[in-house]
């Protein structure tokens, strides 16, 4: 496994393998790897000759400086995990390699970034688009892999690829969960034991909600928020039931496209997101 830190080095690595006819897949991460990331690596390895994992905590996507400072990181642990997965290359750039000059780009995602995460984390998705587009331009992979837990982010990245006309296929992978249903997340490492126990209620309520489509959409939204907020360790920031393509709120189960329920919940200073597909 090669560990590379510069744009020049990773481009040379990619060029060498492309010249020999090999396909390249990319798994962009911010480190603090868990089973969800490993599932992306495994899918990438299955579908490509060469797998590259990037680890970079992107300051541009944090609208809260404390959140950026507290984001979990353990590079030695991450490298050990990736070596066990027989990853071909890990790209671990310092900030000046990703942003050699200030990046003033502003992306227009229409309505995709106006609700849910976009409403509560202004500027977040613009920062995501900056770093992901930069990684795509550096590595020029044929495919890139993202988890469905961050469903709005996934939609934003797909839209960005269309806007910029980048030659990369964005592949989505199902959310990986712990045995009690909690979605795997790097932020789970920040939970104390008590918070971790109570956090499992989030997925439990979402799964129960799937069986309550006899309720009108607004009633079900209120039911989910009330059930979770009854737990003194949890506070719902938002729960939205939205069109799977536009991410705009739906008012009826008769919506023509698929429907997804997306939630953000705070426990202490830790913010967790999850989602469930209704149809």
CATH class of 186-277: alpha beta
Q: Among all residues, which ones are annotated catalytic?
A: 37
- Angstrom distance (rounded) from CA 73 to CA 30: 8
CATH 3.40.50.620 positions along the chain are 2-173
CATH 3.30.1300.10 positions along the chain are 186-277
Count of residues making up the chain: 279
pLDDT tens digit sequence for 66-98: 899 999 999 999 999 999 999 999 999 999 999
What's the pLDDT score for residue 255? 79
Cβ-Cβ contacts under 8 Å for 278 (sequence gap 6 or more) = 209, 210, 213, 241, 253, 258, 259, 260, 261
What's the pLDDT score for residue 18? 95
What's the pLDDT score for residue 257? 80
| C-alpha separations of 262 from 52, 152, 166 in Å | 30, 9, 28
The residue behind tokens 């990684």 is: 135
Q: What is the dihedral of CA 146, 263, 176, 57, to 10 degrees?
A: 50
What's the pLDDT score for residue 279? 87
Q: Are strands 50-55 and 169-173 parallel, antiparallel or unpaired?
A: unpaired
Q: Is the confidence at residue 256, as pLDDT, over 90?
A: no
SS3 (DSSP) at 89: strand
Q: Is the confidence at residue 251, as pLDDT, over 80?
A: yes
Residue 202, both tokens:
């989030």
- Angstrom distance (rounded) from CA 49 to CA 270: 38
What is the third-level CATH fold of 2-173?
A: Rossmann fold (3.40.50)
pLDDT tens digit sequence for 175-232: 999 999 999 999 999 999 999 999 999 999 999 999 999 999 999 999 999 999 999 9
Alpha helices, H only, 53-192: 65-70, 75-84, 95-98, 117-120, 124-139, 151-164
Cβ neighbours of 153 (radius 10 Å):
21
Query: Which DSSP state fits 267?
Result: E
In contact, 98 and 76? CB cutoff 8 Å:
no
pLDDT tens digit sequence for 114-158: 999 999 999 999 999 999 999 999 999 999 999 999 999 999 999
pLDDT tens digit sequence for 50-64: 999 999 999 999 988
Exposure of 118 in the CB half-sphere (CA atoms within 13 A): 21
């Amino acid at each position: 496994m090669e560990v590379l830190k510069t744009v020049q080095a990773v481009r040379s690595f990619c060029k060498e393998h492309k010249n020999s006819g090999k396909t390249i897949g990319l798994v962009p991460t911010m480190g603090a790897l868990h089973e969800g990331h490993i599932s992306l690596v495994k899918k990438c390895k299955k579908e490509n000759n060469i797998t590259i994992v990037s680890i970079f905590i992107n300051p541009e996507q944090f609208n809260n400086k404390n959140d950026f400072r507290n984001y979990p990181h353990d590079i030695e642990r991450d490298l050990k995990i990736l070596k066990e997965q027989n990853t071909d290359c890990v790209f671990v750039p310092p900030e000046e390699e990703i942003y050699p000059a200030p990046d003033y780009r502003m992306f227009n995602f229409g309505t995709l970034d106006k609700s849910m995460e976009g409403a509560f984390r202004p500027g977040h998705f613009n920062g995501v688009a900056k770093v992901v587009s930069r990684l795509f331009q550096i590595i020029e992979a044929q495919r890139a892999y993202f988890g469905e837990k961050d469903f709005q982010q996934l939609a934003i990245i797909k839209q960005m690829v269309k806007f910029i006309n980048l030659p990369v296929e964005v592949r989505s992978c199902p959310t990986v969960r712990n045995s009690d249903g909690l979605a795997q997340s790097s932020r789970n490492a920040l939970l104390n034991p008590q918070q971790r126990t109570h956090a499992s209620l989030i997925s439990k309520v979402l799964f129960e909600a799937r069986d309550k489509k006899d309720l009108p959409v607004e009633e079900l939204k209120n039911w989910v928020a009330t059930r979770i907020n009854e737990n003194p360790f949890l506070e719902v920031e938002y729960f939205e039931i939205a069109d799977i393509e536009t991410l705009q709120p739906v008012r009826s189960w008769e919506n023509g496209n698929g429907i997804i329920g997306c939630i953000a919940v705070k426990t202490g200073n830790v913010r967790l997101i999850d989602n469930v597909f209704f149809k």
